């Protein structure tokens, strides 16, 4: 039981004054970057290489610009996806232990997925 008025309790529950803008920007910047990267990926990396052989794909990826754009696409996609999923988990999972485990698992999945994709892209780029 609290002796504080409803207004007194509400005053302490406002904005945290820190982190909200940073998190908002961290969500939006990869989303903005993904727009041209996704267009490049669909039209240049996928459609222009339909039916290409492994050697042709390797030659395509050997171009430094293509490898760089592919790496940026992968990193931005995993980062943006992880941030979005973490926001959903934080909003809808009430149990703190489960929430922390899911957030940790999401970050771990995003890290391993991005590293695995980067190693695959670099192996294809440098011919391994």
3-state SS, residue 4: coil
Mean pLDDT for the chain overall: 89
Do the domain assignments include residue 6? no
Do the domain assignments include residue 8? no
Say which residues have a Cβ less than 8 Å from residue 102's Cβ, sequence separation at least 6. Answer: 89, 93
Which two tokens mark 37? 């990267």
Number of independent structural domains in the chain: 1
- Decide if pLDDT at 14 tops 70: no
* Domain span holding position 35: 19-126
Do the domain assignments include residue 90? yes
Summarize pLDDT for 57-116 with one digit per residue, the tens.
Answer: 999 999 999 999 999 999 999 999 999 999 999 999 999 999 999 999 999 999 999 999
pLDDT at 99: 96
Do the domain assignments include residue 76? yes
Average pLDDT over residues 20-43: 91
Predicted model pTM: 0.81
- Decide if pLDDT at 17 tops 70: no
Pairwise pLDDT comparison (47 vs 3), residue with the higher score: 47
Do the domain assignments include residue 104? yes
- The CA distance from 70 to 46, in Å, is 11
pLDDT at 24: 83
Closest CA to 71 of 107, 104, 106, 45: 45
């Amino acid at each position: 039981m609290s002796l504080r008025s409803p207004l007194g309790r509400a005053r302490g529950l406002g904005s945290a004054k820190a982190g909200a803008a940073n998190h908002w920007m961290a969500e939006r910047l990869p989303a903005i970057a993904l727009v041209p990267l996704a267009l490049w990926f669909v039209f240049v990396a996928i459609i222009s290489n339909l039916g290409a052989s492994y050697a042709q794909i390797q030659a395509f990826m050997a171009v430094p610009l293509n490898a760089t754009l592919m790496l940026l696409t992968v990193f931005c996609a995993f980062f943006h996806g992880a941030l979005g999923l973490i926001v959903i988990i934080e909003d809808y999972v009430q149990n703190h232990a489960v929430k922390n485990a899911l957030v940790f698992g999401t970050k771990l999945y995003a890290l391993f997925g991005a590293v695995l994709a980067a190693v695959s892209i670099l192996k294809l780029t440098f011919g391994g």
